[in-house]
Structure 1
Amino acid sequence: MHRRLVISTIAATALCGTALAGAATSASAAPLAVDCRKVKCVALTFDDGPIADTRRLLRVLKDRNVKATFYVVGKNVQKNPSTVRTAALAGHQIGNHGWDHADLTKLSAAKVRSQLSRTDAAVKQATGKNPTTLRAPYGAHNATVRSVAGRPLVHWSIDTLDWKHRDTARLIRTVNAQTKPGDIVLLHDIHRTTVDAVPGIVNALKSRGYHFVTVDQLFAPGKLPAGKVTYHNRAAYRP
């Protein structure tokens, strides 16, 4: 009798454990990848952070199940490593935007290398991974920058001018009016008005059937070439 009870208890425990393991696997499973060759995709990119308000932006993106790419400034990563870690853990892509937003075309090869390597080190310390893409500050690049980068340079196809026009409603209209499949949108998480605009941008584009992806997802399954500058992926969606 006692032996039967022990066996039954073990079996029940094993069954319960299996069910819990299944539930955990289901809950933690990664979402299915978006195929931007089959659906309309756009990559929202945010430059110059992280700052304190970047945390608010991360909450906005999480609430709407939106993935984005952050081109971070190294010295800001050094000040706010936990914010970058949170972004990476949430599935956002982290890119290199130089150490202190210097115009890389005005620097020697050695100084360009320092700008990038110091930022790489700060991001790796915060997230455990090096950034795989670069966005040159001001979009300024030359042969030296492209050679030293050793990775793809990702720029943008939609310049929202959010740094110039601190107008949330205008920003929502601009992104909605200009976005086409495969676009890379330039935004700045250092401006409150930009963070304020993100819910409206997301709502407007979702209503038009857009999926929000990271830069890498936008070009998947392909890989961007090192040392080349990319502005969009117009070949992604073929209706």
Structure 2
Amino acid sequence: MNKKALFITSILTVLLLGLAGILYYNHHITVAKVEKEVNEIYFNNKHDYINPNYSLEDLEKVKYDSRHIYGDHAKELQELIDRAIDKRKAIQFLNDSVLDDKPIIEGNQVNKDWVIEDGVSAEEVDKKKDRFNFDYSDKLVEDLKANYGLLQQVAQSNETIENKIDHLPEKFMIESLDKDLDAFNQVAKEISNYIDHTNKEGQADLFKKRLMDYALSVKEQTANQDGYSKSLGKLLKQDELASVLTGSPVDYRPLVAITFDDGPDDNVENAMDICEQYGIKATFFLQGNNTEKKPELAREIVKRGHHVANHSYDHPDFAKLTDKQILDQINRTQDIIKQATGVTPTLFRTPYGQDRARTTQLVAPLKPCYWNTTSRDWQLTDPDDIYDMIMKNMQHHSVILQHSRYTATTDALKKVIPELKKRGYVFVFPEQIPDIKTWNHN
């Protein structure tokens, strides 16, 4: 080989080595870049949950950046990118199928309280099943599959329920009563199964209307007959149906609501314990000043499933107050109760039951709630006397006025509740008793 050829060969070798070095360096830089991006895509080295800040477009760009890397490590990175893209598509479909304010999966957070978007059909959901056929498993994949399965069930249930409501009977026929009740009960159970994941208030209202029409038909056709109470009794003995019909024109059962005024007080937990011993809930009409002093007791009332209502700030006689003063008493107490419990009351009761009509006009849409059965526990100190007073005043539909701060009252309650149960009374909240609407007068 002459000198010239040797020189050229040497130059080419140097160039090739330089180019190889540059390519190796660039490859190393690209791998490092892709590796950094993959680490940003995932929350941890388990490579399951993905960063919500990475859109599908962002992930496709990372995949594009990885197209020229090679080697075993590169294959691992590319597989992680492909998995992230598949997961993002699955997440996107799930989140697009529910209300915007409650996405199912956001980063590494899984929301169990999602609500399906109106118009999402079972067919539309089923078409995406291949998107959830992952050939591997991790925590996110498990969450994706579980929520997709639940979404399928909710979408299918919505369509099934709508179809079944359309075919529910509207008119009562004695020969098909049991069959009709089974149909109503089945729909009621299906509605309750997925109620937390549906935005179907209209569906529930339609069911309630159909059930009410049927119940009224029972009442009309069996009025003044032995079959009336027997047929309605079957309706009202099924929990799902009874919950809809309680207090309605077809509810012939005796109803009672337990209420306490002026709390929260030091004896309120005792009152709740006694109520809960017998499986019932009460309504506590709270004063604003007492709630300020004992907010933890107000919270406990709500936590234990009882209702809270408004009983003014410091118990003045409303008949002696101006309109502005009444509004201040009620509005101030609304704010205090809401701050203490997280619940905004929907009912109010004026101190001493005074000035009912004027207050009702002033504080609408708050609803008035008074009583027709008194314990007179602010005068009577013997539990037996309080018990006798309540029993003497009981009516077919009763709202009982009591004060939980008196131990004599709670002692009497231990006799009152079992006796009322023995007499067939159904314990409800006062708003379930239609008669309270007629008591808004002094």
- TM-score tier after normalising by the smaller chain length: 0.7 to 0.9
1:86 CA drift (Å): 2.0
User: What's the counterpart of residue 415 of structure 2?
Assistant: 200
State the distance in 1 between where 2:281 and 2:415 align.
15
1:56 CA drift (Å): 1.0
The alignment covers a number of residue pairs equal to 207
Specify the code of the residue in structure 1 equivalent to 2:331.
Answer: S
Q: Which residue of 1 aligns with 2:337?
A: 123
Tell me the C-alpha RMSD between the 2 structures.
Answer: 2.9
Q: Percent identity among equivalent residues?
A: 28
User: Quick one: distance in 2 between partners of 1:139 and 1:63?
Assistant: 30
Distance 2:304 2:440 in 1: 27
Contact 2:357/2:440 (<8 A) preserved: no
Greater CA drift, 168-177 or 32-41:
32-41
Richer in strand (by share): 1
Equivalent AA in structure 1 for residue 291 of structure 2: V
Structure 2 contact 287–333 (Cα < 8 Å) conserved: yes
Task: Quote the Cα distance in structure 2 between the aligned partners of 1:143 and 1:176.
Answer: 28
Taking structure 1 as reference, are residues 230 and 197 closer, same or farther at Cα in structure 2, changes over 3 Å only?
farther
Distance in structure 2 (CA, Å) of the matches to 1:230 and 1:154 = 11
Counterpart of 2:310, as a letter, is N
**Deviation, structure 1 residue 157:** 0.7
Relative to the length of structure 1, the TM-score reads 0.76
1:71-150 to structure 2, matched below 5 A, reads 71-141=285-355, 144-150=358-364
Would the alpha carbon gap of residues 185 and 142 (structure 1) be closer, same or farther in structure 2, given more than 3 Å must change? closer
CA deviation profile, 1:214-237 (whole Å, cap 9, x unmatched): 112223xx9959xx8179xxxxxx
Deviations 1:149-170 (A, max 9, x none): 2122211111221100111011
Higher relative contact order (CA 8 A, sep 6+): 1
- Classify the secondary structure of the residue corresponding to 2:300: helix
Give the match's secondary structure for 2:314. coil
Greater radius of gyration (CA)? 2
Residue 54 of structure 1, aligned match among 264, 268, 289: 268
Normalising by structure 2, report the TM-score.
Answer: 0.43
Residue 177 of structure 1: how far off its partner (Å): 2.8
Deviation string 1:138-195 (CA, Å, 9 cap, x unpaired) is 1111654232221222111112211001110111122223212211111111211101
Secondary structure of residue in 2 paired with 1:162 = coil
**Unpaired stretches in structure 2, ≥5 consecutive residues:** 1-135, 150-191, 197-238
Distance 1:81 1:216 in 2: 24
- Paired position in structure 2 for 1:229: 440
Rounded Cα–Cα distance in structure 1 between residues aligned with 2:257 and 2:425: 10
SS class of match (1:190) = coil
Which residue, out of 143, 156, 173, partners 2:388? 173
- In terms of mean alpha carbon deviation, does 85-94 or 198-207 score higher? 85-94
Change (3 A) 1:117 1:191: same
Return the alpha-carbon distance in structure 1 between the equivalents of residues 356 and 349 of structure 2: 13
2:260 alignment partner, SS class: strand
Indicate yes or no: 2:400 matched with 1:189: no
Task: Report the equivalent of 1:159.
Answer: 374
Find the aligned partners of 1:146 and 1:209 in 2 and give their Cα distance.
33
**Is the partner of 1:229 in helix, strand or coil?**
coil
Code of the aligned partner of 1:229? N
- Give 2:325's aligned amino acid: K
Is 1:209 the counterpart of 2:424? The answer is: yes
Matching residue of 1:40: 254
User: What code does the residue aligned with 1:180 have?
Assistant: Q
Specify whether residues 200 and 118 from structure 1 end up closer, same or farther in structure 2 by C-alpha distance, changes over 3 A only.
Answer: same
